[in-house]
Homo-oligomer: A and B are copies of this chain.
């Protein structure tokens, strides 16, 4: 009856490696080895140690291990702060895909928000330079920089998601928005449409630029100038997708010469736009064809069902995560700095022939 150390099942947070060692009757370092390299220790003692660990409900202390090995097993995902997760269906979807991949690979996911204010930048830099995270996925266009610290120089692998940052040497996984919208517009042109109405996202946003370019390119292919498109929206951030659609509807209603085809840069915009113009008396697709971006599930249940360019969020999130982990572990094989994943155009009844 000596130090039986009755650390039975229901102990607070304790049960150290030393406890396991004592119970198994071996040295602390042997426990460590048995747990990390089961092969490099005698099978019988390994089993004894495993049993002891199990009995004590031993869990290695993460901070101690991280400190010792000099790295953590946490990946952070940097989200633009101005964007409500719920507003654009995009974010929650990638978040989920990313999370799944991260966990599957034995890592943990931490959320970070990058706003326009210095404190959020500082916060992210602390996470990076303080060794809390080992890699970063970023969905924002600027890498945080404060004083003489910059994320680019933090020495941790970064992969950009959705935004093409390959030119600044940040590996990027993106979708072919430009191509996707070009194909959709091509179909609209074949249906006889000649005048387009484009509802933009936040001005200067990468996707907006790409998508608008795709539209203009498709027009060019058909010998139509940029004058055939009326731009709307572009004044609000993504979180106000519905509001943007409403404003665009009012804008549309005031137009002298009415476009007959609408390209919206998010489903939210398209949905509220459609709702309002229908209320005003226009019929979709009879008077007006509508196509948008994102592929939100709800599009299928709109009246009429909304055509949309589906963003492959699952693939995007998974690919980016795997890539990041490969870089973190030094098992990278991609020579390129950019990976493009195809979007899918889902044609539904919101599109019809021009009349």
- A57 to chain B minimum Cβ distance, whole angstroms, is 4
- A121 to chain B minimum Cβ distance, whole angstroms, is 13
A131, B67: Cβ atoms under 8 Å? no
Chain A 145-162 interface 0/1 with B at a Cβ cutoff of 8 Å (1 = within): 001111001111000000
Residue of B nearest to A303 (CB): B303
A12-B61 contact given A103-B113, A148-B55, CB 8 Å threshold: no
B63, A131: Cβ atoms under 8 Å? yes
CA distance A95 to B87 in the complex (A): 13
CA distance A176 to B123 in the complex (A): 36
| Other-chain residue from B57, B92, B130 in contact with A59 (beta carbon distance below 8 A) | B130
| Other-chain residue from B12, B95, B242 in contact with A297 (beta carbon distance below 8 A) | B242
How many chain A residues touch the partner (CB < 8 A)?
69
- A315 to chain B minimum Cβ distance, whole angstroms, is 15
A63-B67 contact given A91-B92, A103-B123, A271-B298, CB 8 Å threshold: yes
- A47 to chain B minimum Cβ distance, whole angstroms, is 16
**Chain B residues within 8 Å of A268, by CB:** 297-298
Chain A 95-130 interface 0/1 with B at a Cβ cutoff of 8 Å (1 = within): 110011001000011111100000010010111011
**Chain B residues within 8 Å of A59, by CB:** 125-126, 129-130, 149
A13 CB–B CB distance under 8 Å: yes
List residues of A (1-33) whose CB comes within 8 Å of B's CBs. 8-13, 15
Residue of B nearest to A152 (CB): B10
**Chain B residues within 8 Å of A123, by CB:** 103
B103, A96: Cβ atoms under 8 Å? no
A109-B111 contact given A57-B148, A86-B93, A301-B275, CB 8 Å threshold: yes
A278 CB–B CB distance under 8 Å: yes
B60, A130: Cβ atoms under 8 Å? yes
CA distance A259 to B298 in the complex (A): 25
| Other-chain residue from B93, B131, B155, B300 in contact with A61 (beta carbon distance below 8 A) | B131
- A114 to chain B minimum Cβ distance, whole angstroms, is 11
Residue of B nearest to A89 (CB): B86
